[in-house]
Structure 1
Amino acid sequence: TAGGNYSLYFYFFKGAYSRLWKSGEFRFYVAMTIIATTVIMFNIWRSSYHSLIDSFRYSLFQVTSIMTTTGYATADYERWAPLAQVVLIILMFFGGMIGSTGGGIKQVRILLTIKQGYREIYQLIHPRAITTVKLDNKFLNKEILGSIWGMVFLFLGVCTVAIIGMAATGEDIVTSTTTVISAMCNVGPALGSAGPGDNYAGIPITGKWILIFCMLTGRLEVYTVLILFVPHFWKK
């Protein structure tokens, strides 16, 4: 629930039930949850849990917790197979839907980035074709798509710089990478020395300041924070 768009919930409780499923972002959100849960479930079955039901229960809870950026953990997923851990890290970027309490890049931005990427590839194959990107039967102009591409690029750019900064404090590559992603996406637990069975107490003070900046940047949206570092903003 925390990862869903609350305006859709409003319409749902008002009786407009079909509006929920008509949302392309909601369908994408549900699809990602099902796909990720299925992949992790079969990946940790037998290797971590002998029961398929237990594998399903733990994988569904952890996928939901990560995507909604709730940060709870009912299992030490650092002991899971590498594929399951990679899927969880990717889900941190996805986050919740627009209009939710979740963090991350947001589902609709990921969806539109994929659609725009497909459009660019299609345009290379058919250079004379006139193609557009649609969401919920609405055409999106280049300004909106450009803003999304810019936001995703800056988000990943801040992550890259922060990971380098964390590595400079002496943290290992797993801890440096996953703590930055977790902080930027406002998830909570990461991997390495800040995994679900550990905490951030052992992170150096410089590293903690880096993660604080990442947390604020991810929570307040990248544009809102980075614009403060543009000199022209203060001149106006």
Structure 2
Amino acid sequence: MKKTMMIALDFPTQMDVNTFLDQFPYPEQLTVKIGMELFYRYGPEAVQEIQNKGCSIFLDLKLMDIPNTVYAGMFQLAKLGVDYVTVHTLGGSEMMRAAKRGLVDGSREANKKVPELLGVTELTSISQMALTNEQNCSLTMNEQVVSLANLAKASGCDGVITSAKELNDLVEQVGDDFDYVVPGIRSRDDASEDQKRVATPEQAREHGASAIVVGRPITQNEHPYRSYQKYDDEWNLKKRVD
């Protein structure tokens, strides 16, 4: 995975998505994340319409079910020609291996490239208190994320979704031959909102992130393309001359 910045298209309608993307002069250069809200309303049509604009697609549905069901789901998703998909690592190694087989088999049938399989570790909205008191996990957040990432790697995933706070331990204990996609990205002057474990683009890059995901700071900004450029500059360490 090249160093990629992804935009989370957390909009309720396809019209909102089109209005947003129309503000970008080169949508074919974008990697965008489609989540549950859009996909549950429009299904594969949402993917196809955005692909028609040239965007690369991160389809973030976070599958978690028995292995056979996840295999069947991934088999179908692979036919859409998306670039990245997600599963919950807490579903276990057998489920993740089934997810990978589904992607390989579905891609082969549709003559598509196999999407990259990313395992969700702990959501960036989960705090240490929630991990301890609600999930009844005795590990620290870093220990839990590293454990789940190692399981994901051993089970055929290509990378994990993680906060930047765990990146140092992940690179050291899981390896730099694995992809780390970091949501919860905020510049220093943006509010963290419901995210508990946030980082700036520079911090994520410095600690070994392969890609970052930015949502509301871009999609809800009065000038989304300008905001995108700011985040892209910070992520790629560019100095823009206006």
Q: Same fold (TM over 0.5)?
A: no
Look at both structures and tell me which one has the larger radius of gyration over its CA atoms.
Answer: 1
TM-score, length-scaled by structure 1: 0.28
More helix by percentage? 1
TM-score, length-scaled by structure 2: 0.28
More strand by percentage? 2
